Amino acid sequence: MGLPITAGCDAAWIYEIILLKTESLSIRLLICLFKMVALEARLNASEGMVEELRRENAGKLHGAYTVGLQLHMLVAFSVGLTNDGYLGPFNSITTLVYRRVITNIRKAYNPNTGVFTAPVRGLCYIRFTSMGLKGPQSIGAYIYHNDKSVMFNHQNNDNGHNRFLSNALTLELEAGDVVYMRLPVNQELYDEKLSNYSTFSGFLLFPM
């Protein structure tokens, strides 16, 4: 009679042990599941932060590139004609060499030749002012684009006073195109150091 009872007690005890182990395993599985969910949430948050940083860095790089491009496109010059007073008259048309550099961003103007060379394709604003003292000679000036005259201004000496010419235009230039001023035959200009009576200026409005 004692053996069945012992066997039944052992079976119940074993069942209880199995049940406890199963419950423990379930709890451990639940804990692992919770940990996996938390880890996935952290991973998603990290991926979101990485994506946000990527977009932020991309924006900064684009901004830096834009600023660099804008700085690269800055082109401007302004130059005075001479420190020596009168220039001309000459018996042939003469390229004016403005040797007194006031501004020369990108070094696109050459003070040895009087020529502005466009470093990029774009629309440029070109302006000049010329002075002639009272005297017998007329004053005048050409603006040349490459080998073609695109503007000519002239004023006779008809009143015995100082005379001024001033004009401007915009030119669509290709990279490498040149712009320069020329003095007509038998005409003269006047300039003085620090006065800048006769000047030649230009700047890039925008690239194209």
Residues 79 and 174 occupy one common structural domain: yes
Residues 5 and 100 occupy one common structural domain: no
**Helix count and strand count (H, E) for the chain:** 1, 13
Would you say 111 and 81 are in contact if contact means Cβ atoms under 8 Å apart?
no
* Count of other CB atoms within 10 angstroms of residue 143: 23
Paired with 123 in beta bridges are 172, 206
The predicted pLDDT at position 65 comes to 42
Task: Domain of residue 23: give its range.
Answer: 1-73
With a pLDDT cut of 90, the percent of the chain lying above it is 47
The predicted pLDDT at position 47 comes to 74
Higher pLDDT: 61 or 144? It is: 144
Residues 13 and 68 occupy one common structural domain: yes
User: Total structural domains in the chain?
Assistant: 2
Strands (E), 55-177: 76-80, 85-87, 94-95, 100-105, 109-110, 115-117, 122-132, 139-145, 148-155, 163-173
Higher pLDDT: 50 or 5? It is: 50
Question: Residue 145: is its pLDDT beyond 80?
Answer: yes
- Burial label, 79 (beta-carbon count in 10 A; 0-12, 13-18, 19+): buried
Per residue in 50-99, pLDDT tens? 777 777 766 655 554 444 445 557 999 999 998 888 888 999 999 999 99
Closest CA to 182 of 72, 94, 103, 78: 94
The predicted pLDDT at position 66 comes to 47
For strand 115-117 and strand 94-95, is the pairing parallel, antiparallel, or unpaired? Answer: unpaired
CATH label of the domain that carries residue 143: 2.60.120.40
Phi, psi (deg, nearest 5) at residue 5: -60, -45
Higher pLDDT: 161 or 142? It is: 142
For strand 189-191 and strand 85-87, is the pairing parallel, antiparallel, or unpaired? Answer: antiparallel
- Out of 45-49, 152-156, 178-182, 184-188, give the one with best mean pLDDT: 178-182
Total residues found in the chain within this entry: 208
Residues 186 and 112 occupy one common structural domain: yes
Q: What is the mean pLDDT of residues 122-146?
A: 91
With a pLDDT cut of 70, the percent of the chain lying above it is 77
How far is 8 from 4, CA to CA, in rounded Å? 6
Residues 115 and 176 occupy one common structural domain: yes
